[in-house]
């Protein structure tokens, strides 16, 4: 059976250097990832194992504005920036993107073709992946997009660690625990995502619902924002524990 995991989170920002500096001030490793020359965007990355943060900025606005609409995260950045620095959506990692596409189509969703993506990383190495995007939204919340990397998870982890792209954070051990989505109807959205991506339910309350994503969580809470507003992390690092780093309209909470 196909495995789907939480791959990364896209946060649109105006200045990559500012985010890198902010993270480093708090003992977190972040670095420039590279440029998407075909889309007019560039990024900075911060890894927490294979689940990571992608801070996405616009490098060539004209090119980004003319990018095909199916590349949803680029269109998100164009729509949001420069006025709104916020998290746009999450990426889910599939180990069989063709099967994932077939499964989503049976549920009546409009999908992009499976596309090839690439960029040069900070070491000048070519990074390649395959991806698909899901058009539209459910109850106002944008769908995730789906990505499949070359090689299996262990191979990627070993390679990224050996290259130094995945490294220990100066503050100490930090792991991503949950993504918190603020939506008007938490139960309905959680049930829909559970059905689409075969996630396991992990609890329902009057104003929230929770899904298990291979040991991490997507939490849907009552509110009007209709977007991912907060990421929570688990750490014993004294400089981080009990703190919140706010970047634009997103909170990074360390417990």
Checking if the pLDDT of 215 tops 90, the result is yes
**pLDDT value of position 47:** 97
pLDDT tens for 69-104 read: 889 999 999 999 999 999 999 999 999 999 999 999
Task: Write down the pLDDT at residue 117.
Answer: 81
Burial class (CB in 10 A: 0-12, 13-18, 19+), 74: buried
- Is 32's pLDDT higher than 90? yes
Asked whether the predicted pLDDT for residue 235 surpasses 90, the reply is yes
pLDDT of residue 19 exceeding 90: yes
For the chain, what is the mean pLDDT?
A: 94
Q: Which of 3-17, 19-33, 113-127, 129-143 has the lowest mean pLDDT?
A: 113-127
Are residues 36 and 42 in contact, defined by beta-carbon separation less than 8 angstroms? Answer: yes
Q: From the CB of residue 235, how many other CB atoms can be counted at a distance below 10 Å?
A: 22
Which residue's entry shows tokens 């991503």?
A: 176
pLDDT reported for residue 119: 75
Residue 89, pLDDT score: 96
* 117 vs 228, higher pLDDT: 228
Q: For the chain, give the percent of residues with pLDDT over 70.
A: 99
| Cβ-contact 194, 209 below 8 angstroms | no
Q: Is a pLDDT exceeding 80 seen at residue 122?
A: no
| Full-model pTM | 0.95
Read off the tokens for 208.
């929230």
Burial pattern 147-182, b for ≥16 Cβ within 10 A else e, equals bbbeeeeeeeeeebeeeebbeebebeebebbbbbbb
- pLDDT of amino acid 125: 76
pLDDT value for 97? 97
- Tell whether the model's pLDDT for residue 205 goes beyond 80: no
Confidence of residue 203 (pLDDT cuts 50, 70, 90): confident
Architecture of the domain delimited by 4-254: Roll (3.10)
């Amino acid at each position: 059976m196909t495995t789907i995991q939480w791959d990364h989170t896209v946060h649109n920002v105006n200045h990559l250097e500012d985010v890198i500096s902010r993270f480093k001030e708090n003992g977190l490793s972040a670095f420039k990832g590279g440029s998407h020359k075909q889309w007019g965007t560039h990024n900075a990355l911060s890894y927490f194992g294979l689940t990571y943060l992608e801070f996405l900025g616009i490098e060539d606005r004209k090119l980004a504005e003319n990018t095909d609409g199916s590349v949803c995260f680029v269109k998100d950045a164009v729509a949001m920036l420069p006025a709104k620095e916020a998290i746009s959506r999450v990426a889910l990692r599939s180990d069989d993107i063709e099967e994932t596409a077939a499964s989503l189509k049976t549920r009546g969703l409009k999908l992009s073709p499976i596309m090839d993506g690439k960029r040069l990383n900070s070491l000048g190495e070519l990074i390649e992946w395959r991806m698909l995007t899901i058009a539209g939204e459910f109850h106002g919340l944008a769908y995730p997009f789906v990505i499949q990397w070359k090689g299996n998870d262990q191979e990627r982890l070993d390679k990224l660690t050996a290259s130094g792209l995945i490294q220990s954070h100066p503050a100490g051990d930090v792991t991503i625990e949950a993504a918190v989505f603020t939506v008007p109807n938490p139960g309905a959205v959680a049930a829909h995502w559970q059905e689409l991506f075969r996630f396991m339910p992990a609890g329902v309350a009057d104003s929230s619902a929770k899904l298990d994503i291979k040991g991490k969580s997507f939490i849907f809470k009552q509110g009007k924002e209709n977007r991912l507003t907060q990421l929570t992390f688990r750490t014993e690092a004294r400089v981080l524990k009990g703190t919140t780093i706010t970047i634009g309209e997103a909170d990074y909470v360390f417990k």
